[in-house]
Amino acid sequence: MSITNQSNSAMQPQRSQEGTLLHVVETLLDKGLVLNADIMVSVAGVELLGIRIRAALASFETAARYGLDFPAGTDRDTVAWKEAIEQKDTCPECGKRAELAQLMNAYCPWCGWQSAHSKQVESGGAAELKQSSTESEKSSESK
């Protein structure tokens, strides 16, 4: 009895399309990368040289979100700085970034997607408006 492997093609390595250099750089800037290294050179148990390296690679937005220090003289009153501090998130529909408060409470400015929370607020607001108009009609009829 011989056994043949019919799923031979499933065993072949495949390259993901998201593994491009652009995707890697975008992920690094979005999530950030911090390197901490302590290098010590010693001879016969005597430390001769000690180097401490700390490096961060991140966008201003990510660095501001995590509270990383910026070089002295960084102008924090610019429009770009204020935009970097605003909390943003990615729209699940179109994948573009927008202000978090707008995505959660209103809609995506790029594609119009609405979160479940904004739909609930919208329908709840309509129900409250309808209820208040009904109450005002009843009060005007009783007069």
pTM of the predicted structure, to 2 decimals: 0.36
Which is higher by pLDDT, 14 or 39?
39
pLDDT of the residue at 13: 65
Judge contact between 105 and 96, C-beta under 8 A: no
**7's tokens:** 């799923």
Give the pLDDT band (50/70/90) at residue 2. Answer: very low
The tokens of 96 are what?
Answer: 């573009």
Task: Report whether pLDDT(14) > 70.
Answer: no
Residue with more model confidence, 135 or 84: 84
Tokens standing for residue 71: 């070089």
pLDDT band for position 111 (50/70/90)? Answer: very high
Q: Where are the beta strands (DSSP E) in 3-136?
A: 33-43, 46-57, 88-90, 97-99
In tens, the pLDDT along 23-73 reads 888 887 778 887 888 888 888 888 888 888 888 787 777 777 777 777 777
What pLDDT, on a 0 to 100 scale, did the predictor assign at position 129? 46
Please report the beta strands in the chain, taking only residues with DSSP state E, as ranges in sequence order.
33-43, 46-57, 88-90, 97-99
- Joined together, the tokens standing for residue 117 give 């929370």
Burial class (CB in 10 A: 0-12, 13-18, 19+), 109: middle
